């Protein structure tokens, strides 16, 4: 019996071959909250801040790992218990379309999640957090929580973003095969949904974080992209 060929490896080259065409932005695909809409909830969240003397921290587990878009003075690899990362939020814009929505990560109840806690300037917490609050909350897919992050230097309180189960974007728990189908097919004006997965896997690997959910999905998505690249986009 001939040896079994190795599983496809997700790569930027494979993603580009499977999604060669650019996608135009469609602002109507996702209604976004304004800063004025979001400011009261951010103020209320800061009022519930845990242990302010411990510093102002944000816990990253997905795209914030590789594209934080905020200045930070320190970062620590840490673990949040009682939550795990999972692709469970549809993305009808940015890395998907209404016809072929992509998927992004959120935290779901149960298990644990290893990620990175970033320390931010706390001179003006509201102004400091508004960029990341805007990014995560404007699409109404997340809820914000203060969670304890266990690090080698000790526990610290950090703001993070968990799945909003009442959101229309919430998928519930789909099978890995169903998630891979959606991720492999989706592309928006910021690029393919598979690139989001690749960048997150790459960032986790660089940090020594191995997440079974991500590693399983990258293999399944690569298989689908290989077929798409060979057959041509539908």
Please name the residues in contact with 86: beta carbons below 8 A apart, sequence gap of 6 or more. 105, 106, 107, 108, 163, 173, 213
What H or E segment, with its residue span, contains residue 14? helix 12-18
Distance between CA atoms of residues 48 and 233, nearest Å: 48
Any catalytic annotation for residue 195?
A: no
Buried b (16+ CB within 10 A) or exposed e, 60-76: bbbbbbbebeeebeebb
Tell which residue, 62, 57, 99, 55, has the closest CA to residue 83.
62
Helix, strand or coil, per DSSP, at residue 63: helix
Q: Which candidate in 53, 74, 99, 136 is catalytic? A: 136
Length of the chain: 234
Distance between CA atoms of residues 88 and 145, nearest Å: 17
Instruction: For strands 74-91 and 56-60, give the pairing.
Output: unpaired
Please name the residues in contact with 127: beta carbons below 8 A apart, sequence gap of 6 or more. none
Distance between CA atoms of residues 174 and 219, nearest Å: 17
Which sequence positions are flagged as catalytic?
Answer: 136
């Amino acid at each position: 019996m001939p040896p079994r060929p190795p599983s496809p490896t997700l790569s930027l080259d494979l993603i580009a071959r499977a999604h060669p065409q650019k996608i135009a932005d469609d602002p109507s695909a996702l209604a976004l909250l304004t800063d004025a809409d979001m400011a009261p909830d951010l103020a209320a969240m800061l009022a519930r801040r845990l242990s302010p003397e411990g510093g102002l921290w944000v816990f990253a587990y997905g795209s914030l790992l590789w594209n934080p878009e905020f200045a930070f003075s320190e970062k620590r690899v840490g673990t949040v218990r009682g939550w795990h990362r999972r692709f469970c939020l549809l993305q009808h814009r940015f890395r998907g379309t209404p016809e072929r929505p992509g998927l992004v990560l959120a935290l779901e109840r149960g298990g644990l999640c290893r990620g990175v806690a970033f320390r931010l300037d706390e001179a003006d917490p509201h102004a400091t957090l508004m960029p990341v609050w805007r990014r995560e909350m404007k699409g109404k897919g997340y809820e914000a929580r203060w969670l304890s992050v266990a690090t080698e230097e000790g526990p610290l309180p950090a703001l993070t973003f968990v799945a909003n189960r009442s959101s229309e974007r919430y998928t519930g728990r789909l099978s890995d095969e169903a998630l891979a189908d959606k991720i492999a097919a989706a592309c928006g004006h910021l690029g393919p949904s598979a690139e989001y997965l690749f960048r997150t896997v790459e960032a986790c690997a660089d940090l020594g974080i191995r997440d079974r959910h991500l590693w399983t999905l990258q293999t399944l998505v690569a298989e689908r992209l290989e077929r798409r690249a060979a057959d041509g986009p539908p």
